[in-house]
Amino acid sequence: MENLSPQTRFTGRQLVYFPVCTSTNTVAQELVNKNEATEGCVILTSCQTAGRGQRGNTWEAASGQNLTLSVIYKPIFLAASEQFYLNIAVSLGVSDFLKRHLPAGVLLKWPNDLYFIEKKLGGILIENSISGNNLQSSIIGIGLNVNQVFFDNPNAVSLKLITGHTYELQPLVETLLECLEKRYLDLHKRSFYTLQQEYWHNLLGFGEYRLFEVQGKTVQGKIVGTDEYGRLQVETGGGLQVFDLKEIRFLFE
């Protein structure tokens, strides 16, 4: 895994590999702080001991069996108010990668989890630094379940559990970085509308009435999109409502 050769312009050209580390996002932040990371720098580990997820959760990953990495981008072309489009582009890039290996069923669970049907396959944690009105740097942490078959979380799944295949990790990393860079370059072209529409149509629950938990109550609603700030738009009996990250939960979780 120390000799990656992705077919990219810059993503993965600078590679920092650790057999074991606490969190690739933490290491990435240290490199950014020291000004030692080029655009597209990748921090990769075989064993992450303190991986972090959304909502302050930890990320469960068995050593040497999955993909755990962080990518550093410098999207200074994005205003701070446009940062959710980076989330959209990255989510679609990881989804593109998964769709190369899996049958129909790859979905994005808002805001940036990767699902196969209704089982969690991976997650993304993006940490942005802002300078003035624009993004300065973005650390994109990605965890994907590949060869692991036993999980504490009954809602988790892996590529191996779905397909029955055991995967060599290095080629997967290279393909993932290629897919990420392609979507990042689309973002650089400011293809916001196209990216947003594709993101919506890949969302778990898009256009379907489902049950959610809102403020401790069960609510039936239909996801109809996201607003300019990345908040989830849900059509309920009370009309169109908008939710931030910790304000709504799918009831199957």
Encode pLDDT of 127-136 as tens digits.
Answer: 999 999 999 9
Q: Which pTM value belongs to this model?
A: 0.94
With 0-12 / 13-18 / 19 or more C-beta atoms within 10 angstroms meaning exposed / middle / buried, residue 99 is: middle
Q: Looking at residues 104-122, what average pLDDT do you find? A: 96
Per-residue model confidence (pLDDT) at position 137: 98
With 0-12 / 13-18 / 19 or more C-beta atoms within 10 angstroms meaning exposed / middle / buried, residue 103 is: exposed
pLDDT at 248 over 60: yes
Per-residue model confidence (pLDDT) at position 4: 87
Q: How far apart are CA 101 and CA 161, in angstroms?
A: 12
Q: Which residue has the tokens 């990518």?
A: 71
The pLDDT tens digits for 81-97 are: 999 999 999 999 999 99
pLDDT at 27 over 80: yes
